[in-house]
Amino acid sequence: MTLFLEQLFNGLQAGVTLFLIAAGLTLILGIMDFVFLAHGSQVMVGAYAGAAITSWTGNFYLGLVLAIPVTFASGYLIEYLLIRHLYRRDHMEQVLATFGLILFFNELVRIGFGPAALFSDLPPSLGHFVEILPDTPYPVFRLVVIGVGLACALGIHLFVSRTKTGAMVRAGANNPEMTAALGVNITLLFRMIFAAGAAFAGLAGTLLGPLTSVEPGMGEPLLILSLVVIIIGGIGSVRGAFIAAIIIGIVDTLGRIFLPMLLRQILDGSAADGAGPALASMLVYILMAVVLVFRPQGLFPPRG
């Protein structure tokens, strides 16, 4: 039971981090109809910025806070220098150009910081455990990640659903041409969404830094998972992305721990040892395939 609760929290933490990455991506895909594969590189940029600033200043919080403007700037620059020239191109060209961007960023980081992984230590104030239930200690930092992620999710939701700019964003997702014709500066809107998306992805990377290893190419598995999130949630739907992210985070985490255990109960030892991990790592992709077969537009396609 303790183990289950612990893993449930880990799944929640993975889910909200995925949402931070997927939120920007779903707007980029939904509003601009742009397949931005280098979004994972923004996660990596955030993680490196956080780790580097932390080690230079010796202050983890400073790294966490300063990584946000760094990734915002990097998103802004990428949009300005490259992406805006690709909006009118077809999907495959967008895939290839942003694939080139991934190669470039990975190599840049490898030249700047070396091929080995960086590790950033948590400050003492975040490095300890608390009891979430009697006899169930849980690392404080993961709780902080969950808290920050949920706060951001709430903020993004309120922004999109309650503010005037948010209304423009939703209108842009439904019909960019009409929105532009109504006098919305769609160029600026696009660039800001891009930069804000990069900042949220960067925040996710900074938060993940102390939990995983910070290394070149660390963003790609996260990118692919957040693409799965967006597809399951429905492209362009922030609410769908949130629900799908939590589902994926929990299914993936619990699957990896409990599916092999479960299979060992049913099958004999060697077959279960072979099939368990294989099935567990395929689980989210199987989930995605099943969702798409029954609902090709995802679970919560944006109304429009």
Partner 1 sequence: MRGIVEIIRLIRDGAMENRLFFLLLAGFAFFPLYTGMADLPFWEDVAMRIMLLGMAAMGLNLVLGYGGMVSFGHAAFLGVGAYCVGISQSFGLMNGWVHLLISIGVCGGLGLVIGYLALRTSGIYFIMITLAFAQMLFFLFVSLEMFGGDDGMSIDRAEFLPFDLYEPLRLYFLIWAMLVLVSVALMLVVRSRFGVTLRAIRNNASRVEAMGLEPLGFRMTGYVISAVICGLAGALFASWQEYVSPDIMHWSRSGELMIIIVLGGLGTLAGPLLGAIVFLLLEEFLPEFLYLVAPAYAENWMIIFGPLLIAVVLFGRGGLMGMVGKLRAGRRDGDGS
Contact footprint for partner 1 (CB under 8 A): 29, 33, 35, 82, 85-86, 89, 91-93, 95-97, 99-108, 110-111, 220, 224, 227-228, 231, 235, 273-274, 277-278, 280-282, 285-286, 288-289, 292-293, 296-297
Task: Output Rg (C-alpha) for the chain, integer angstroms.
Answer: 20
Q: Looking at beta carbons only, is 147 or 274 nearer to partner 1? A: 274
Q: Looking at beta carbons only, is 180 or 279 nearer to partner 1? A: 279
d(C-alpha 279, C-alpha 272), whole Å = 10
Task: Report how far apart, in Å, the C-alpha atoms of 22 and of each of 15, 52, 119, 223, 235 are.
Answer: 10, 24, 25, 8, 10
For residue 238, the minimal CB distance to partner 1 (Å) is 17
260 DSSP 8-state letter = H
For residue 139, the minimal CB distance to partner 1 (Å) is 27
What kind and span of H or E run contains 132? strand 129-133
For residue 96, the minimal CB distance to partner 1 (Å) is 5
For residue 130, the minimal CB distance to partner 1 (Å) is 34
Q: What would the DSSP string read from start to end of 235-257? A: TT-HHHHHHHHHHHHHHHHHHHH
Q: Looking at beta carbons only, is 181 or 271 nearer to partner 1? A: 271
For residue 269, the minimal CB distance to partner 1 (Å) is 13
Task: Report how far apart, in Å, the C-alpha atoms of 122 and of each of 6, 31, 52, 129, 282 are.
Answer: 20, 37, 13, 12, 32
Cα of 185 vs its chain's centroid, Å: 27
Q: Looking at beta carbons only, is 167 or 220 nearer to partner 1? A: 220
Q: Looking at beta carbons only, is 212 or 297 nearer to partner 1? A: 297
For residue 274, the minimal CB distance to partner 1 (Å) is 6
3-state secondary structure 44-80: HHHHHHHHHHHHHHCCHHHHHHHHHHHHHHHHHHHHH
83 DSSP 8-state letter = G
Q: Looking at beta carbons only, is 157 or 256 nearer to partner 1? A: 256
For residue 251, the minimal CB distance to partner 1 (Å) is 14
Q: Looking at beta carbons only, is 89 or 128 nearer to partner 1? A: 89
What kind and span of H or E run contains 224? helix 219-233
